[in-house]
């Protein structure tokens, strides 16, 4: 490898988050840079839609494979977040920032299919979990009180949240009947149950 930096693309299917990798060391990102990389992955999936039936489709099955459950026609909002985090943890610069090896990251990442269970996962791993009035930063996970979850893509101290979510639709519904893809949503903060900060 030469002294020139090389680029690492997190995933071909996502909007690329690029990190410089030097021959002798990995770039250590600031927490906001690392969270931004997670938000970029989520934003790269905007426009993915179910196909072949409710909660179905090849890309939906990829998200669901990030959980402990066998992929099938079940609601996948938490699976989408799990998948985004798994992709994020593939970046050497993210691992360096978190101080984790690839093996540690594999056991760290969430595999739950339950939105509210992500709060339990975060607490078990010592992550910062804020209440509904916490400041939301780009790259935080928001868990809603109606058993739904997404990734915050704009900083918000109060008021409306801007979030990328799986298993929702253009109206913002979340249930096994009407959620049909990955969408950017604007939601009232009063719907938030908790915010999870990964770094």
pTM over 0.95: no
As a whole number of angstroms, the distance between CA 191 and CA 1 comes to 49
As a whole number of angstroms, the distance between CA 159 and CA 143 comes to 16
- Fold topology of 6-197: endopeptidase fold (from Nostoc punctiforme) (3.90.1720)
Identify any residues that bridge with 187 across adjacent strands, giving them in sequence order.
161
- Reading the chain (199 residues) residue by residue, the pLDDT tens digits are 322 222 222 333 333 443 433 333 468 899 999 999 999 999 999 999 999 999 999 999 999 999 999 999 999 999 999 999 999 999 999 999 999 999 999 999 999 999 999 999 999 999 999 999 999 999 999 999 999 999 999 999 888 999 999 999 887 665 556 789 999 999 999 999 999 999 9
């Amino acid at each position: 490898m030469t002294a020139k930096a090389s680029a690492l693309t997190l995933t071909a299917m996502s909007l690329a988050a690029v990190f410089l990798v030097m021959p002798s060391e990995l770039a250590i990102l600031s927490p906001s840079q690392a969270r931004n990389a997670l938000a970029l992955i989520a934003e790269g999936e905007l426009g993915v839609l179910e196909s072949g039936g409710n909660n179905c489709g090849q890309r939906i099955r990829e998200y669901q494979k990030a959980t402990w459950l066998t992929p099938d026609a079940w609601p996948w909002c938490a699976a989408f977040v799990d998948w985004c985090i798994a992709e994020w943890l593939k970046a050497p610069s993210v691992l360096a920032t978190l101080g984790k090896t690839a093996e540690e990251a594999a056991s760290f990442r969430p595999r739950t299919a339950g939105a509210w269970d992500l709060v339990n996962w975060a607490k078990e791993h010592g992550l910062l979990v804020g209440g509904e009035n916490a400041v939301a930063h780009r790259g935080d996970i928001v868990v809603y009180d109606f058993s739904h979850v997404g990734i915050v893509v704009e900083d918000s101290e109060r008021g409306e949240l801007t979030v990328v979510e799986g298993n929702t639709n253009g109206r913002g519904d979340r249930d096994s009947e009407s959620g049909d893809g990955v969408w950017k949503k604007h939601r009232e903060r009063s719907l938030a149950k908790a915010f999870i900060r990964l770094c």
